[in-house]
């Protein structure tokens, strides 16, 4: 097998004996379809007060990523989803998260609440010291401008950690 480190998923599949370009494309389509099905069924049960439902909603999008990514979910006063955007794509073990970029996006959507979701490609969802520090900075910045951070979830391989459930977020009210 060739060095697949710098190849895309389709080229990696094509390195397997018996898989050509058409079969690789079919496999990619099936993979994308299954992710979309999982997300659609999770969306029906999505509750922003329930970290497990948020994790189910985001799990398939994140758990196979080879780089850290940060998703920001923006909510209105009734806790309804206004929009969601990937704000940052990082490296294998780090994501360049800027509170500035998060709040520019949140203000664009007129968000009142935020939920952050990011993945750990290692599969271990335990928040790092850096995850905890940046989350506190984001929470503090949000408090200053009136956009409350409701939770920050770290997605691993079929596991997640919620900052809210773990007591890693402090709430004034």
pLDDT along the chain (173 residues), means of 10: 54 79 78 62 69 89 83 94 88 70 96 96 93 94 96 94 92 56
Query: What distance lies between CA 155 and its chain's CA centroid?
Result: 7
| Beta strand extents in the chain (DSSP E only) | 69-75, 81-89, 113-119, 148-155, 160-162
C-alpha Rg value of the chain to the nearest Å? 18
Give the pLDDT confidence score for residue 69 in this predicted structure. Answer: 92
Contacts (Cβ under 8 Å, ≥6 apart) of 36: none
Nearest to 165 by CA among 122, 113, 115: 115
Domains of the chain and CATH, by start: 66-166 (3.40.140.10)
How far is it, in rounded angstroms, from Cα 166 to Cα 160? 11
Positive or negative CA dihedral for 81, 83, 89, 94? negative
Q: Which two tokens stand for residue 102?
A: 């998060």
């Amino acid at each position: 097998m060739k060095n697949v480190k710098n190849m895309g998923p389709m080229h990696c599949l094509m390195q397997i004996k018996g898989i050509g370009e058409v079969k690789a494309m079919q496999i990619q389509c099936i993979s994308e379809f299954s992710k979309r099905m999982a997300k659609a069924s999770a969306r029906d049960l999505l509750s922003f007060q329930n970290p497990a439902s948020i994790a189910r909603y985001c799990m398939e999008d994140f758990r196979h990523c080879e780089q850290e990514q940060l998703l920001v979910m923006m909510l209105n006063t009734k806790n309804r989803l206004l929009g969601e955007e990937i704000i940052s794509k990082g490296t294998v073990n780090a994501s360049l998260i800027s509170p500035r970029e998060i709040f520019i996006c949140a203000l664009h959507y007129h968000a009142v609440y935020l939920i952050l979701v990011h993945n750990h490609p290692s599969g271990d969802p335990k928040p790092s010291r850096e995850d905890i520090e940046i989350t506190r900075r984001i929470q503090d910045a949000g408090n200053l401008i009136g956009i409350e951070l409701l939770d920050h979830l770290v997605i691993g391989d079929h596991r997640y950690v919620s900052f809210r459930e773990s007591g890693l977020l402090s709430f004034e009210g």
